[in-house]
A and B are shown apart, each in its own frame.
Chain A
């Protein structure tokens, strides 16, 4: 089963999408978006994994003495985490204001515009 980690990433992504589409609460929707995003961490790290390899940090191993996993995807994951966290914060701030102005966080009840 050498595709299993990739399939797990796809499964996590689809689960997040299902949650987003059926969500009745905006905070829950933001959480589902975070689930979607975490699938990309699984995918990236699975792409960079190498059997028997260690972390690409050479402070305690001699360069070239043993294989290391792909550092590029790890750096991409780091970018992903930072962007995900900030976007989540921004969305939660929006939800807070929506809850204050409209008194609800159910997306189905937010139909009409209000000034």
Chain B
């Protein structure tokens, strides 16, 4: 049975490998000069005063696509919350505070505010410098969890009222939709970047609706990651199986 499976895999894998190599040989040369999509995307980004072209592609030229991406993130977090909830044959145990080594505690408490500010900075400057809502959101959310490493689980729970983060996750998703609808109300198209003036190139307020959509994504990602990690940590730390239930 197992040998048959491996043989089948070898045949299929060889066929797939041959097709992939044939496709690779047909691709445009690596590092070549002609990038028609890239050139046009850069041009469009510059006419809309967005210094970070990638942010312009994500939140202006392909903003509708980012809406889908955000929905996947939202749905996945929702799925995890449903899957990891407390089952009927489980109970919550109060986690016991554990001893943390002094240097770990000191380092975590020093780095926490720095990491948090860095995350917020990356979100706020998404339209100017490399980064944006997705990256900054993850940095900001994980920085809170330094408290779990440096202090203990109770301390983390105190800075992390889950209901607030769940609500802000949903509100951020809705605000992205509302910003898109505002375009329709203003007489243009859904998620079209025509609502606000484009501003001065390379300043915080440049790019029209790009910084707003970017901020909405930043809040959503930060809240989503906090909720996600909270649910996994709950499984590891708090939720215990009733004895003899299996």
Contact = CB atoms under 8 A, between A and B. Distances in A.
A50 B27 contact: no
B93 interface: no
Contacts of A73: 38
B207 to A, nearest CB: 12
B124 interface: no
A111 B29 CA distance: 47
Contact of B130 (A22, A57, A100): A57
A93 B83 contact: yes
Contacts of B83: 90, 93-94, 96-97
A42 to B, nearest CB: 11
Interface string B1-34: 0000110010001001100110011011111110
A59 B51 contact: yes
A18 B9 contact: yes
A49 interface: yes
Interface stretch (B40-48, B146-154, B186-194): B40-48
Given A57-B54, A86-B72, A14 B30 contact: no
Given A67-B33, A83-B69, A3 B53 contact: no
B17 to A, nearest CB: 6
B246 A103 contact: yes
Given A96-B83, A100-B241, A82 B130 contact: no
Interface string A66-92: 011111111100110111001101101
B231 interface: yes
Interface string B55-69: 011100010011001
A37 to B, nearest CB: 14
A71 B53 contact: yes
A21 interface: yes
A110 interface: no
A48 B232 CA distance: 36
B33 A50 contact: yes
A103 B241 CA distance: 12
Contact of A56 (B16, B54, B134): B54
Interface stretch (B74-82, B98-106, B110-118, B171-179): B74-82
Contact of A57 (B38, B53, B72): B53
B24 A6 contact: yes
A46 B30 CA distance: 7
A7 B28 contact: no
The 3 closest A-B CB pairs, nearest first, are A70-B38, A86-B76, A6-B24
Given A63-B46, A93-B80, 8 more contacts: A10-B20, A14-B16, A51-B33, A55-B130, A82-B72, A83-B72, A83-B73, A86-B224
22 contacts: A6-B27, A7-B21, A10-B24, A47-B27, A48-B38, A49-B30, A50-B31, A51-B33, A56-B45, A56-B54, A57-B130, A58-B46, A70-B38, A73-B38, A75-B54, A75-B62, A78-B134, A79-B66, A82-B73, A83-B72, A89-B77, A93-B84
